[in-house]
Amino acid sequence: MLNHLSFNTPVGRLAPSPTGAQHVGNARTYLLAWLSIRSRSGRLILRIEDIDSPRVKAGAAQQAIDDLRWLGLDWDEGPDIGGANAPFVQTERIDSYREALARLQRDERVYPCTCTRTDIESAASAPHVEHEGPIYPGICANRSASDAAKLGDQPFAWRFRTTDQPYRFNDRVAGSQEANVRHALGDFVVGKMDGSPAYQLAVVCDDHAMGVTEVLRGNDLLPSTFRQLELYNAFGWTPPTFAHAPLVIGPDGRRLAKRHGDTRLATLRQQGVAAQELIGLLAWSCGLRPTREPIAARELVAEFDLCRVTREPFVFSVGQVFNLSGQA
Ligand code: GLU
Ligand code: ZN
| CATH number of the domain residue 119 falls in | 3.90.800.10
183 and 117 together in one domain: yes
Asked whether residue 234 is domain-assigned, the answer is no
Residue 10 lies in a domain: yes
- Ligand 1 atom closest to residue 203's alpha carbon, by position in its atom list: 9
| Residues 269 and 303 placed together within one structural domain of the fold | yes
Tell me the pLDDT of the chain (328 aa) as tens digits.
444 555 689 999 999 999 888 999 999 999 999 999 999 999 999 999 999 777 778 888 999 999 999 999 999 999 999 999 999 999 999 999 999 999 999 999 999 999 998 888 888 666 777 777 889 999 999 999 999 999 999 999 999 999 999 999 999 999 999 999 999 999 999 999 999 999 999 999 999 999 999 999 999 999 999 999 999 999 999 999 999 999 999 999 998 888 888 999 999 999 999 999 999 999 999 999 999 999 999 999 999 999 999 999 999 988 777 765 544 4
Ligand 1: centre distance to CA 56 (Å)? 13
Q: Do residues 8 and 58 both lie within one domain?
A: yes
Are 282 and 28 contacting, i.e. CB atoms less than 8 angstroms apart? yes
Q: How far does the chain reach from its first CA to its final CA, in angstroms? A: 59
Total number of domains in the chain: 2
Residue 16 Cβ contacting ligand 1 at under 6 Å: yes
Query: CATH number, domain at 59?
Result: 3.40.50.620
- Residue 68 in domain: yes
Q: Is residue 211 part of a domain?
A: no
Q: Is 316 a domain residue?
A: yes
Same domain (yes/no): 84, 97: no
Q: Where are the beta strands (DSSP E) in the chain?
A: 11-14, 43-46, 110-113, 128-129, 133-134, 157-160, 166-171, 175-180, 188-191, 214-218, 241-245, 248-249, 314-315
**148 assigned to some structural domain:** yes
Q: Which candidate, 4, 3, 8, 18, places its Cα nearest to that of 88?
A: 18
Residue 209 lies in a domain: no
Evaluate: CB of 203 within 6 angstroms of ligand 1: yes
Question: Can you give the pTM of this predicted structure?
Answer: 0.94
* 223 half-sphere exposure, CB direction, 13 A CA radius: 16
Cα(12) to ligand 2 centroid in Å equals 35
pLDDT at 326: 45
How far is the centre of ligand 2, averaged over its atoms, from the C-alpha of 179 (Å)? 23
> Do 104 and 197 belong together in one domain?
yes
One domain, residues 78 and 131 = no
Last residue of a domain, one of 171, 187, 203: 203
Relative to the CA of 19, which ligand 1 atom is closest?
Answer: 4
If asked whether residues 64 and 118 sit together in one domain, one would say no
Nearest ligand, CA 138: 2
Put the strands of the sheet holding 157-160 in their side by side order: 110-113, 157-160, 188-191
pLDDT at position 328: 41
Of the residues 138, 172, 203, which one is the last residue of a structural domain?
Answer: 203
Domain endpoint, select from 203, 236, 266: 203
**CB–CB of 134/140 below 8 Å?**
no
**Could you tell me if 127 and 48 lie in one domain?**
no
Dihedrals phi, psi of 139, to nearest 5 degrees: -55, -40
Q: Which residues are paired to 71 by β-bridges?
A: none
Which range of residues forms the domain containing residue 34? 1-90+246-328
Among protein residues, the one whose CA lies closest to atom 9 of ligand 1? 203
Q: What pLDDT is recorded for position 323?
A: 65
Query: What single-letter amino acid sits at 219?
Result: N
